[in-house]
Amino acid sequence: MNTTHPKTRNVVTLHGDGTFHLLETELPELDSTSVLVKVKASLVSPGSELKGPVKRGSKSAGGWRGLRELQLNPDDSIVAKPFGYANTGIVEAVGDAVVDLKVGDRVACIGAGYAQHSDYSVVPQNLVVVLPDTVSFEQGAYAMLLATAMQATRRATPEFGEFAAVAGLGMVGLITARMLQLAGCYVVGWDTVDARLELARSLGIDGTINVLSEDSTAATMQFTGGRGLDLSVLALGGDAEKPAHALESCMKVAPDGHPMGTMVVVGGAEFPFTRTLTNMDIRRSSRTGPGYHDPEWERGTGYGDVFVRWNTRNNLELCLRLVAEGKIAVDLMTTHRVPFAEIEDRTPEITQDPDSILGMVFQM
């Protein structure tokens, strides 16, 4: 094992006043199954990384709006802590039991508690994949969200030619919409922010609806030629009763009057499971595929591809291949790039306008 590496690192911490700060901490130990990575870029995932600090009782779903809420109404009870779970960089050292990775490799890393917003990360080997030559560090930082969207797409079991709607066009929603297209579906995206709807059109999504200014049910039924949706995806957090039942009203209906089809809930959306859902399949989807959060798998114990074809690592590798082939243009989702050393100075101004932010990349 190569033991020549830094003893400390700098990590980004999230505070109760909605600000980011850098903190010097000890570098985690490099064990036999892990990889030390000198980080080049990391991506903030607001839907999950920023929802925790929102005050209890708040109706905010978190994200960048929740962060802005904390800036306006700080919560002193929140303990500052490092965060992040998606970064890229160059392998500096590997443990003795690591296979398929070597010093000097360009890699994408994932994992809560591992692939944080920091200048160095120590990550279990199965949560690290080699970047294709044509994929940049910034593009590779989307690997976690790409795999999350891929898992949601797999949970939807799409079929060629089906009609699908995605409610919530944040990064995961946009990527899921694009993956459903790649799987052969015609996709309409719902959101309340015009900039996100415009981005969806730039990504080639088949249709878009601003649910604040348009009749989402009428517009969606028109999109499907009156047939109704075969599947839908809730890609948002917090109280989702209104969008969930709006999607329900757009699903295909059997001759006996029962709504049919599949609804996938990705993220922290919550809504009442009412009797009107009848024969619809409601499927939750989270994480990136089998293996993630299984400590033994993360550190090298395989499931066997014959029985578990699409584990987290295989999903990650396929996602990065799609980016390399130009089939998912993640660059269009990056709205802000912030040098690591300037995070404390630049993010307070940027986060004053939360709806202007989609993908924020920290550049090391």
pLDDT of residue 267: 82
pTM for this prediction: 0.94
Do residues 18 and 60 both lie within one domain? yes
Backbone angles phi, psi at 296, to 5 degrees: -70, -40
Domains held by the chain: number: 2
Look up the CATH number of the domain holding residue 271: 3.40.50.720
> Is residue 57 in some structural domain?
yes
Task: Evaluate whether residue 3 is within a structural domain.
Answer: no
Tell me, yes or no, whether 274 and 301 share the same domain: no
Answer whether residue 209 is part of any domain. yes
Cα(305)–Cα(236) distance, rounded to whole angstroms?
A: 32
Instruction: Select from 269, 285, 301 the last residue of a domain.
Output: 285
Over the stretch 122-180, which tens digit does the pLDDT of each residue have?
999 999 999 999 999 999 999 999 999 999 999 999 999 999 999 999 999 999 999 99
Ordered DSSP codes for 291-306:
TTT-HHHHTT----TT
pLDDT at 274: 82
122 and 15 co-located in one domain: yes
Range of the domain at 62: 8-141+291-363
Query: What DSSP assignment string belongs to 11-52?
Result: EEEE-TTS-EEEEEEEPPP--TTEEEEEEEEEEE-HHHHSST
User: Closest by alpha carbon to 280, among 240, 253, 256, 243?
Assistant: 253
35 and 101: one domain?
yes
In tens, the pLDDT along 206-236 reads: 999 999 999 999 999 999 999 999 999 999 9
Q: Is residue 1 part of a domain?
A: no
DSSP result, 214-225? S-HHHHHHHHTT
Distance CA 231, CA 155 (A): 11
**65 and 88 fall within a common domain:** yes
| Rounded Cα–Cα distance for residues 51 and 47 (Å) | 6
The predicted pLDDT at position 55 comes to 46
Q: Which residues of the chain have pLDDT under 70?
A: 1-4, 51-61
Does residue 215 lie within any of the structural domains?
yes
